[in-house]
Structure 1
């Protein structure tokens, strides 16, 4: 398996997708009424598709997964650029912190990060912080799921593509247990051709995850929750 997609639920996929495409310098893949996709390619590292699917519900105020963007020494310039693209300042009670919190055009929080040694060679997305009930345990689950390896020195249990390039996947202590609403952002992993979908389902359950019901039986992917309740999808192998 490998990590393929960062998926956003969106009231207006085209508007939100074009914003994020401009943010990360993505390559457009799909622009259809029901969805929008753009590809972020980190040179020498991972390829991550940002996918935007239409939903009716507005975003929650405290998401369990959000993007941290690389600012570094040009942090204020990056903040100004994002505001020019349609972002706005956002107060989520962060207080006096060295990063800047913004909201994208649909209100999803994102942070523009200060300079950190851990963010060398990340590309435009510095990190993907994911809330966890047990970060030290969940980092092992996500490493098995994505093939990413532990990234020391990040300050939190974190993973990174084996190339040591591209964003960090950071497991953060959750502020509250996962409740019923679906996460506004989630990750998709893709099976390799030799991997058996039913065998992967068993292995996910053995590691503390669980399979979730699908809205339609004809969907080609299967939906799961990690041990902390965060949704993710397992996509079939490419033919």
Structure 2
């Protein structure tokens, strides 16, 4: 198994997708009315696809997963670049912090980070901060799903690709329990040849997750789960 996709709900997938493609320097994979996909390939590290899928109306629930972008010593220049691409400054009550909070064209928060040694070799996306009710517990599931392992970081638990390149997966104590609405940004896990989907389902359950069976997902080739904190994820079938 491996982490393949970051999936973001969008009212206008092309607008949001092209913004993020420019932000990360991605390569277009899909450009259709209801979907836009771009690929972020980290040299010597993971390949992550950013997927934007159409939804009828903008989500209102707070983001539980977002993107921290690498700013470093060129933080101010990177902020200016993103503003030029269509981002805007955003006040979410962050106060006086060393990072800069922006919103993408549909209002999704992201942060341009200050210079930190832990962001060496991350590429344009420094980290993927995920809200967690219990970072130690949830890290065990996410490490098993992705193959990422513990790494130095500022969060209570930080995971990273075994190459030690690409973004960090930071698990932070959640500011509030997850509400009933689905995450507008979630992660997809791809099975590999030889992975048994039912054994994976059992492994997720053993680590505190659970499988969902929403009516709208009937007939889809992937299966939908939550981690122990309620964050949705999809497990995609192995490629043929």
Could you tell me which runs of 5 or more consecutive residues in structure 2 were left unpaired when the two chains were aligned. Answer: none
Query: CA shift at 1:206, angstroms?
Result: 1.0
Indicate conservation of the 8 Å contact 2:67/2:129, yes or no: yes
Q: Does 1:232 align with 2:233?
A: yes
**Structure 1 position 69 matched with structure 2 position 69:** yes
| TM-score normalized with structure 2 length | 0.98
| Structure 1: tracts of 5 or more residues without a match | none
Deviations 1:56-105 (A, max 9, x none): 23133621000000000000000000000000000000000000000000
CA distance in 2, matches of 1:108, 1:71: 18
Provide the C-alpha distance between the structure 2 equivalents of 1:104 and 1:93, rounded to a whole number of angstroms: 17
Aligned residue for 1:16, secondary structure, equals helix
- How far residue 153 of structure 1 moved from its aligned partner, in angstroms, is 3.9
Question: What is the rounded CA distance, in whole Å, between the counterparts of 1:203 and 1:87 in structure 2?
Answer: 40
Cα RMSD after superposing both structures? 0.9
For the 8 Å contact 2:153–2:170, the answer to whether it is kept is: no
| Deviation per residue, 1:17-51 (Å, 9 max, x gap) | 00000000000000001100000000000000000
- Deviation at 1:218? 1.5
Count how many residue pairs are aligned between Structure 1 and Structure 2. Answer: 239
SS of corresponding position for 2:30? strand
2:44 corresponds to: 44
Q: 2:129 touches 2:172 (CA, 8 Å); kept in 1?
A: yes
Task: Indicate conservation of the 8 Å contact 2:40/2:49, yes or no.
Answer: yes
TM-score of the two chains, using structure 1 as the length reference? 0.98
Looking at structure 2, the residues matched to 75 and 61 of structure 1 have their Cα atoms a distance apart, in angstroms, of 28
Kept in 1, the 8 Å contact 2:6–2:188? The answer is: yes
